[in-house]
Amino acid sequence: MGPLLKISRLIDAISNLVGRTLIWLVLAATLISAGNAIVRKTLNIGSNAMLEIQWYLYAAVFMLGGGYALLKNTHVRIDVLSNKFSARTRAWVDIGGIVIFLLPMCYLLSVFAWPIVMSAIKTGEVSSNAGGLIRWPLYALVPAGFGLLALQGLSELIKRIAFLRGAGPDPMALPHDPHADSGAAPDAPAAKAGQ
């Protein structure tokens, strides 16, 4: 499990770096939006490119931030059910969700999006708005975002398998969980062996 956990930590570091970088895109989009509004209201000058870059930046945040959301466990989860499961059952449910739903979905969406990206590059597709931006960078966010999400899904899969094998802590342990400090959940084999 050691080499796989190293890969998992590397993927986590990449997701963390991407997530922290995306914060700056929110700031950039906000400043562009404010500047665009000020120029439009005071000088009566507008720019479709400046309007489009705002939603390109927001699209980048949402598309590229999925892996970071999964890493930080801020994604949508049915907590009413999940909180009733033991840590081991929750790990098994997560493994099933990752293998059956998350990874295939990421693969399919990336495969279906890629021809659209390539077509937009070949044709030089541009926004239909006057002065609009090229489209392929926006389209490329789909396979890039789902690629990052798939990588983080792989990392989460490794962590849950390590937990079930007693080679790692419960990845879902909350900071206030008394077992989170010990590195193992109460029903992990390592915790039982120490009792």
Q: Are 141 and 63 in contact (CB under 8 A)?
A: yes
Percentages helix, strand, coil for the chain (3-state, rounded to 5) are: 70, 0, 25
Could you state, in order of their start, the residue ranges of all structural domains in the chain?
Answer: 2-170
Please give the Cα distance from 162 to 164 (Å, whole number).
Answer: 5
Please give the Cα distance from 66 to 152 (Å, whole number).
Answer: 9
128-149 pLDDT, tens digit per residue, is 888 778 889 999 999 999 999 9
pTM confidence score: 0.78
Please give the Cα distance from 52 to 29 (Å, whole number).
Answer: 10
Ranges of residues in the chain with a pLDDT under 50 are 176-195
